[in-house]
Amino acid sequence: LILTALEKLPSARCYVYRGVNLDLANQYTQGKTFVWWGFSSCTTSIEVLENEQFLGKTGQRTLFTIECDSGKDIGGHSYFQSEKEVLLLAARQFMVVGCLRPAPGLHMIQLKETKPPITLLQPVTNQSVQIKPTPEQFGRKLLTSVKVMILAHFWKSEFS
């Protein structure tokens, strides 16, 4: 269901940021290609990462700068619209373009989304599945609707 909804949103080609409160530098070396199998919440606003929940200002941290081709801008659908959230779908492949350690405890990793040699996640079809009620089910629904209308009419005339 979530994939169907996200498929309706246009894909955004943009730069996004993702912060993690861990030192992940050893897992992401320059030139490495890898797949993130889960959904990844990112932002187009680097200022959002100052929040301790996302990256913060102290401790071991990794900041990903990601050039993505298939991000889904869900900022307008989020309760926290100021976070300018872009969702990277599951099963996305990336290549590590560069790594930097600008300060003690802070690692920056530059990623670029790449196309995998095989499809990792089948696209959702745009054909919607419509379930048509049987004549018996349709008759029951119609009868229920008529009963509700009659009750509403009597209720209104009784208490008006």
For the cut 50, the answer to whether the pLDDT of residue 160 exceeds it is no
Specify the DSSP class assigned to residue 137.
H
Output the pLDDT for position 43: 93
Output the pLDDT for position 52: 81
Residues 6+ apart with CB under 8 A from 68: 12, 13, 14, 15, 16, 42, 86, 88, 92, 113
104-133 pLDDT, tens digit each: 999 999 999 999 877 777 776 655 445 555
Q: What is the CA radius of gyration of the chain?
A: 25
Report which of residues 47 and 65 the model is more confident about.
65
For the cut 60, the answer to whether the pLDDT of residue 145 exceeds it is no
The torsion angles phi and psi of 97, rounded to 5 degrees, stand at: -90, -40
List the beta bridge partners of residue 73.
Answer: 86
**Residue 159 pLDDT class (50, 70, 90 cuts):** very low
Alpha-carbon gap, residue 115 to 46, rounded angstroms: 26
Q: What is the pTM of this model?
A: 0.73
pLDDT averaged over every residue in the chain = 82
